[in-house]
Amino acid sequence: MNVTMKLPKVLSLLFAFSLLVLGSCSEDDESTPVPGQQTCRPVKVTSEGLVSNITYTNDKITNFSTEGYGNATVSYHSAGNLAGKVASMAFSGGEQGKGTLEYEYDDQGLLIGTFLTILDLGGAGQVAEFTYTNGRISKITRTMVFPSEDEGEGPFMISMGYTTYTYDSQGNVLKATDYDADSETPDHTIEYTYDTKSNPSAGIEAFMVGLPGMNPASGNNILTAIYKEGNTVDKDNSYSNAYVFNSSGYATKITSTTQNGEVTVTNIDYSCN
């Protein structure tokens, strides 16, 4: 089972925003942002006619919007050891409905889970729980939670399976292995290769951790992703990426090509100072 396809359409709200986390293959040797040059922040992402606009307050993303999917507002903790860490993202105004993604931390401020609430499903949601190994997320377990219809009873929960991760020496996800609930055999695996250049979207990737199909953030850009079910390569979901960079070293264009030859082009506009 591909968990991503089983979740409600509200996850489509995240599509345009998640375009920023696509990996890349450099078409320019000067791809890493250069110290002393302009600092740029992405403010608009366009792909296949879908536009996402991004706004900031005090250098933090506070809102993004997509045509057809409405607005997402990001809130942050303001006090204690969680000050500055993201608290929640609320979605509204789109044809896909309303929802909230909340972030849970332990007493040391380590992110240990997320909870996606879907209003259109009567308060049902998805819980994602994180397991760490050597300071990195090694496993994400996902559970659908449905409120009880009977007073005094606990919620009804359905396991959605889990994903395990291995990393290279630079902290990039080398392999994601996805399992169905109660299965010891992987549903599928995705193996990645990377360049050595800085991934300017790593901070944004961290927003999406816990959602199906979204890996923990990697510091470098993806060159290739090979999706396998058993030993069979899924050519529709296996791809390579190519990047174009501006003079300040920020990616302005991503060309993603699947092994079946389907090409998707993403353009990114920046505000620089």
Residue 38: its pLDDT value, please? 64
**0.85 exceeded by the pTM?**
no
Q: Residue 15: CB partners within 8 Å, gap ≥ 6? A: 50, 66, 69
Query: Locate tokens 């991760």: which residue?
Result: 165
pLDDT tens by residue, the chain, 273 residues: 333 333 333 444 444 444 444 333 333 333 344 444 567 788 888 887 778 888 889 888 888 886 655 788 999 999 999 999 999 988 887 766 788 889 999 999 999 999 988 787 777 889 999 999 999 999 999 999 988 777 777 788 999 999 999 999 999 999 999 999 988 899 999 999 998 777 766 766 777 788 778 899 898 889 999 999 999 999 999 999 998 988 877 778 889 999 999 999 989 898 887
Handedness of CA 185, 187, 191, 197 (dihedral sign): negative
Query: Locate tokens 């397991």: which residue?
Result: 131
Structure token digits, residue 77: 């903790």
Residue 119: its pLDDT value, please? 80
Residue 60: its pLDDT value, please? 86
Residue 11: its pLDDT value, please? 42
Q: Mind listing the domains of the chain with CATH numbers? A: 3-272 (2.40.160.150)
Residue 53: its pLDDT value, please? 86
